[in-house]
Structure 1
């Protein structure tokens, strides 16, 4: 939603100011310039990135349009899930959670939290480390180091779509110049047709430069930054899990373990202490 609102504000201010200054919107409609710039941008994007990154970029943009799933409600469910697992392990023994982590789809605990189940990578992260806990006596600092290494790797993966989009944003002004140069080349054919015809052709060429700069700095560049923020909110879920798991391995009670996890979340999306307690009881 923020992406749509921001785009409307950018268009309204730039085009509105242009019209108020006496500009003609029809002059800006140059389909061939659009074809050159955005066709070249799309082609270079495909050349530069593997299919997995291209797919992740479009998935990330769709997520920006509908809203990130990593919100306060998601974090509440995540912490409640961890509490239930830790509580069962503490009361019934570590071996009691083996069936839950081996087949989370059939687990009564995991099935209560469908939002977490939809995030397959995060779910695998949780079950992998719960499995490590149940199968051996790894020291807390060793477990923490292993988790940090995987989180760093995952963070890099999540930021790759943002970097790919940012590269296109950097290229768009240059592609706008390419379109403008081609327009000037075409204008050379009209030198004998009078100032009016030459002026229209030059204006069309300059629209290419405008579109490249406008789209690069007004839309594509900010979208790459939004994708980075989206990646950070997902990584915070991993850091929350890490903090809670390390705390429980260190001997903390389930209630205190999830408090460690809660403190790892961003403040504006972090549930309150009592809010989390009420949610855990309701589940």
Structure 2
């Protein structure tokens, strides 16, 4: 919602200020379709050239985060801690029972109580693979911690691709605006025999290209890339939380301590309070009983 508010403010301030200064929208409106076709079309074409089909689909999907914000909300962090507590408790009580959950998480009643987390393949795979590795009796927990670190870095790099792709488009838009403006000047030079009032309108139309390229770059696409990057970085805390809890488990801390380590490493805006988490854990125990 806040993203839509920002867009409204941008348009209101830019075009409102232009009108209050005595500008006329007629020439912008007349030139806009052609300039948008040249600049926007070239930007889309360059984006398609620079990315493969999966990356294009991933970027288009991620644009929704500009308006929806990060995927993981405060209640999801609380649910994750409850899920991790249940799995660690099962692993400590009966490792054989744990195998039924981590080998087929889609059929697990534990994962089934948290459908949003269960639907995220990266989170589920991270949990199951690490718990499976823990069952192999690793002598050095730091080995697993290093593997987790590299895996999270790879996931972060992949998740950032959409932001980088949009930022590349934003960086190229001003130059594409200049291209459109030059084409407008070329068109104007072909009509140099026209009276000044006609030439003035043609030059004004050509300058719309420069305006549009800069406006799209710094007013829309650039901020989209920044917001998307912030959302991805915020979501990264969710996966880092999984790592912290699992590493604590590898060091054989009690389940409650493992969960508290995770809670303490949750960002303040997403961190559940101690009492809220305790109530959620009690509720999960009742459901599991």
TM-score class, shorter: over 0.9
Runs of 4+ in 1 over 6 A off after TM superposition: none
The answer for the alignment partner of 1:50 in structure 2 is 52
The answer for the alignment partner of 1:27 in structure 2 is 27
The answer for the alignment partner of 2:164 in structure 1 is 163
Moved more, 138-147 or 76-85: 138-147
Distance in 2 separating the partners of 1:200 and 1:2: 37
1:82 and 2:84 equivalent? Answer: yes
Equivalent residue pairs, number: 282
- Contact 1:176/1:209 (CA < 8 Å) preserved in 2? yes
The answer for the alignment partner of 1:106 in structure 2 is 107
Distance in 1 separating the partners of 2:52 and 2:139: 37
TM-score, structure 2 as length reference: 0.94
- Cα deviations across residues 127-151 of structure 1 (Å, max 9, x unaligned)? 1111111233342211111100111
Quote how far apart the aligned CAs of 1:27 are: 2.0
1:40 and 2:34 equivalent? Answer: no
The answer for the alignment partner of 2:3 in structure 1 is 3
TM-score, structure 1 as length reference: 0.96
Unaligned runs of 5+ in 2: 285-289
- Contact 1:77/1:115 (CA < 8 Å) preserved in 2? no
The answer for the alignment partner of 2:129 in structure 1 is 128
- Contact 1:98/1:134 (CA < 8 Å) preserved in 2? no
Distance in 2 separating the partners of 1:265 and 1:202: 56
Quote how far apart the aligned CAs of 1:84 are: 0.8
The answer for the alignment partner of 1:70 in structure 2 is 72
The answer for the alignment partner of 2:287 in structure 1 is none
Distance in 1 separating the partners of 2:54 and 2:146: 28
Compute the RMSD of aligned alpha carbons. 1.2
Change (3 A) 1:237 1:138: farther
- Cα deviations across residues 18-46 of structure 1 (Å, max 9, x unaligned)? 11111122222221111000000000000
- Contact 2:55/2:162 (CA < 8 Å) preserved in 1? yes
Q: 1:60 aligns with which of 42, 59, 62?
A: 62
Moved more, 264-273 or 211-220: 264-273
- Contact 2:77/2:272 (CA < 8 Å) preserved in 1? yes
The answer for the alignment partner of 1:275 in structure 2 is 276
